Amino acid sequence: MIRLANVSKVVTSGSEKLTILHAVELFIPNGQFVAVVGPSGSGKSTLLGLIAGLDAPTSGEIFIDGENITRMSEDELAALRGAKVGFIFQAFHLIPSLTAYENILVPMEIIGIRDARERAQRLLDDVGLHDRGHHYPSQLSGGEQQRVAIARAFSNDPQILLADEPTGNLDSKNGRHVFELLLRLNRERGTTLLLVTHDHSLADLADRKISLRDGRIVEDRLLHFRIVDCGFGI
């Protein structure tokens, strides 16, 4: 589960101070699929980055499974991400010098999973790229690259999956395909999924939809009720 307590983020741009997030309070139980929507610059990506520990909040605290990650060092955060968090980017961010198969292998090798190779191959099969494992990212289409990124995100069985506009760089057909894949894997594994998107039709498929504007949560709606693993009810 994820908890944000009074989290703000201020950045300095030139001599100007810009508040990206205003004292955000948020609780997400395990297994929930949350869509985050809002116009550009509303703070969606920043929110995701803070939860992944990619950046530190200016004030407030963030808890993952009860652990306060705002006090962790860079290396502790990396270890946390390796163990619990998967991330999917709009720009895919595959490592260009590695093949598709090797890209999936990396997170498992970092934390030292024993049967990494078999799992990587299985994940490749799962995302429908069975025979393209030896291709480099530059040899794959956008949709294929994003499928590799999804396989990579799931490779070490994260509890939390953070997806930053995963279909934003894809045409609608490929986008739909990638989204369905994401959803299927998420359902199968019971992962908490935080999805940032512009696409309201996609957002409507989530359990819960949070709207951000100017760094504030302006709407928080439960769309579908599912039994999720949490200590107290929704």
Partner 1 sequence: MNFVWNMAYRELRASWHRLLFFFLCIAVGVGSIVSLRSLIQKVSASVTSEARALMTADLQVSSNNQWSDETRTILERYINHGSVLGHTEIIEMPTMISAVNKPGSVPKLVELKAVQAPYPFYGQMQLAGGQLYTHSLLEGQGLLAGQSLLTQLELKVGDEVRLGKLNFTIRGVIEREPGNTMNAFSFGPRVMIDYADAQAAGLLSFGARARYRLLFKTREGEAVKLTRQLRRELESQPGVSVRSYRDSENRLAESLNRVEDYLSLIGLIILVLGGIGISSVTRVFVQQKMKTIAILKCLGGDNRRVLGAYLLQVLGLGLVGSLLGVLLAALTVYLVPRYLGDRIPLNIEYRLTWEATLQGLSIGLLISFLFSVLPLLEIRQIKPILLLRNDTATGRQRVDWVRLGVGASVLLALIGLASWQAGSLKIGGIFLGGLAVTALLLSLVASFLIHSLKQVRHIRSFVLRQGINSLYRPGNQTKIILMAVGLGAFFVIGVRSLQANLLDEFSLNLNDVAADMYLINIQKDQQAEVAALIKKATGAEAKLIPVVRARIVKVNNEDVKLERRRNPAGRGLLSREYTITYRPNLEENETIIRGKIWEPAPGSEPEISIEEALHNDLKLDLGDQLTFDIAGRHVTAKITSVRRVDWRNSRTGFLILFRPGSLEQAPQTLISAIKGPPPGQARAAFQRDLVDRSPNLSIIDVFDIVEVGRRILNDISLAVTFVGAFVFLAGVLILIGSIAMTKFHRLYEAAILKTLGAKKKLIIYTVLVEYGALGLLAGLIGSAAAVALTWTVCKYGLEIAWHFVPAINFIGVAVTVLLVTVVGVASSWDVMIKKPLGILRAE
Q: Give the residues lining the site for partner 1 (CB under 8 A).
A: 11, 13, 45-46, 48-49, 52, 54-55, 74-75, 78-83, 87, 89, 91, 93-98, 102, 105-107, 109-112, 138, 152, 156, 164
Question: Closest approach of Cβ 86 to partner 1, in Å?
Answer: 9
Closest to partner 1 by CB, 91 or 234: 91
Closest to partner 1 by CB, 142 or 223: 142
Closest to partner 1 by CB, 139 or 187: 139
Question: Closest approach of Cβ 4 to partner 1, in Å?
Answer: 17
| DSSP character string of the chain | -EEEEEEEEEEEETTEEEEEEEEEEEEE-TT-EEEEE--TTSSHHHHHHHHTTSS--SEEEEEETTEEGGG--HHHHHHHHHHHEEEE-TT----TTS-HHHHHHHHHHHHT-TTHHHHHHHHHHHTT-TT-TT--GGGS-HHHHHHHHHHHHHTT--SEEEEESTTTTS-HHHHHHHHHHHHHHHHHHT-EEEEE-S-HHHHTTSSEEEEEETTEEEEEEE-S------SS--
Question: Closest approach of Cβ 75 to partner 1, in Å?
Answer: 4
Closest to partner 1 by CB, 13 or 201: 13
Question: Closest approach of Cβ 60 to partner 1, in Å?
Answer: 17
